[in-house]
Amino acid sequence: MITKVLSSLYSWIILVVLVIIVITANSFYVVSTLNDLSALEARLFTTNRVINAVNRLHVAVLRVESGQRGYMLTGDEEYLTDYTETLSVIGELMDEVEVSSFSSDINDQSIRIEELLSLTKAKINEVIEVVELYKEGKEQQAVILVNSDKGIKLYKQFETLFREIDGSERDMQGTHLANLMSLRRDSVNTLIISSATTLLLIITVFLLLKINSREHEKYQADLESVNEDLESRIADRTQELSIYSDELARSNRELEDFAFVASHDLQEPLRKIRAFGNRLESGYNDVIDERGKDYLARMLNAAERMSMLISDLLAFSRVSTRGKEFDDVNLGTVVDSIMGDLEIAIDEKSAQINVSDMPTIRGDKSQLEQLFLNLVSNALKFQSEGVRPEVTISARDATEEETKDILLAEEYDWTKITVSDNGIGFEQSFAEKIFAPFQRLHGRSEYKGTGIGLAVCRRIVERHNGQITAVSSPGKGATFSIIIPKNSEPFGSNNNNGETHNDA
């Protein structure tokens, strides 16, 4: 009976609930302890701040008075150096004392500190008055003022109040330290409780696992007999699956054709939306209010973006489904061709394109042209205002270190192509995200596009059994590195560093 209860689904549910309760309770204990610790640390900091502030103020008053006495006794102005330096910072010290009083935990402490600051001002003014009289040659009056005991009385009042403030803050400090020790004992108790509950859970889990292990051995024998029966059935089904596989391949081809036709059919209503929208914009512009014009502009922009998305999505899907057979392709000729396509954009931005000697590789020429076109056009597009674009395209043989993580790397000769620019760049943390379809790092209002260009680049490179990576930092441009074989066939190997990309 106990075995059935412990091995049932309900026992695991109860155990999960208990684990959640225990973890929650321990979390509350920890959070409460941390909160108390933070509060005590804050209070200790406040108390220490008040103590240090009033002590520095006390020392400053003593230094001012000491400088006054030394000067009056000797007439040597050297004694006024420390006096003058202290007077220059006395205001800051008084401000520090005043600020620290606002956070004191002691009732009416701010009133006492305010009185202390008042006595400080009075004492400092008395000292300054004596020194100034002595400087002016009025030694008699200065001596009379000193002998009036006004300064002594002020200092005694100041010292009495200082000791009262300092003592009360130190008492409060002792209270906080005592509370901290108490919190430490509570933390130990919390640790003991947590350890005990965790041990109990471990024992319970061990018991359930032990019981389940016995049940597993019992069912293992039954499974073996069932597996024998399944093997015979699998053999019978293998032939059926082979037929289904051929049917699935035919169905996939039909789905690709359907997607192509459907995408073109989607373009037709978009063209009508844009056509009628343009007619509204040109023929009825005078009768449409500002809100209507805004709605119409948004509709046309949305239709245009939708059209671009469909076109780019088709281009993305065609990389694998519409690719051509590989042939020898001179990459220098490819780059020259896309330079002609981008001639207007290059001239408009006065861009400087530097191209080194490029190798000849086996590949799909049209796709390689698309690859370089996307990379160079991005380099021209993502530029800061007023900066002349500079794009450098170079190629060299890839090293063993660069191809060591590529599967079946020894089967091909590899070349490394780099495309560098001086554009706006991006955070290196986005270096993988930018190759995902429809991923944009900037708003459409800043830079046009659908975010499919680099995804197409990656699919083209992967169809050529290569890898593409990006290195960049904000404001310092970007460098795209392509490691591609010179002598491969379409998808001749799976060179994706062991990663699986979803090409759907």
Identify the pLDDT of residue 218. Answer: 76
CA nearest neighbour of 172 among 96, 104, 113: 104
Identify the pLDDT of residue 472. Answer: 87
Is-contact 79 71, C-beta < 8 A?
yes
Q: What is the DSSP string of 132-198?
A: HHHHTT-HHHHHHHHHTTHHHHHHHHHHHHHHHHHHHHHHHHHHHHHHHHHHHHHHHHHHHHHHHHH
Neighbour tally for 203: CB within 10 Å: 10
The two beta strands, 467-472 and 478-485, are: antiparallel
CA nearest neighbour of 310 among 345, 269, 369: 269
Q: What are phi and psi of 411, to 5 degrees?
A: -80, -15
CA nearest neighbour of 379 among 335, 416, 422: 422
Identify the pLDDT of residue 496. Answer: 43
* CA–CA separation, 167 and 86 (whole Å): 25
* CA–CA separation, 54 and 109 (whole Å): 12
Is-contact 371 460, C-beta < 8 A?
yes
Q: HSE (CB half, 13 Å, CA atoms) of 202?
A: 6
Identify the pLDDT of residue 504. Answer: 31
* CA–CA separation, 351 and 347 (whole Å): 7
**Residue 498 CB burial class (10 angstroms; 0-12, 13-18, ≥19):** exposed
Residue 34, CA distances (Å) to 41, 181, 189, 201 in order = 10, 14, 14, 25
Identify the pLDDT of residue 99. Answer: 75
Identify the pLDDT of residue 393. Answer: 93
Identify the pLDDT of residue 502. Answer: 38
* CA–CA separation, 174 and 168 (whole Å): 10
Residues of the chain falling short of pLDDT 70: 1-12, 15, 26, 29-30, 34, 37, 40-41, 43-44, 101-105, 107, 212, 245, 248-267, 305, 308-323, 438-451, 491-504
CA nearest neighbour of 125 among 90, 81, 176, 168: 90
Q: What is the DSSP string of 11-38?
A: HHHHHHHHHHHHHHHHHHHHHHHHHHHH
Region for residue 491 given its phi and psi (left: phi exceeds 0; alpha: psi -120 to 50; beta: otherwise): left
The one-letter amino acid at 91: G
CA nearest neighbour of 452 among 297, 255, 301, 319: 319
Residue 263, CA distances (Å) to 370, 457, 504 in order = 21, 21, 15
* CA–CA separation, 364 and 324 (whole Å): 6
Is-contact 119 150, C-beta < 8 A?
no
Residue 120, H or E segment: helix 109-135
Region for residue 179 given its phi and psi (left: phi exceeds 0; alpha: psi -120 to 50; beta: otherwise): alpha
Is-contact 29 197, C-beta < 8 A?
no
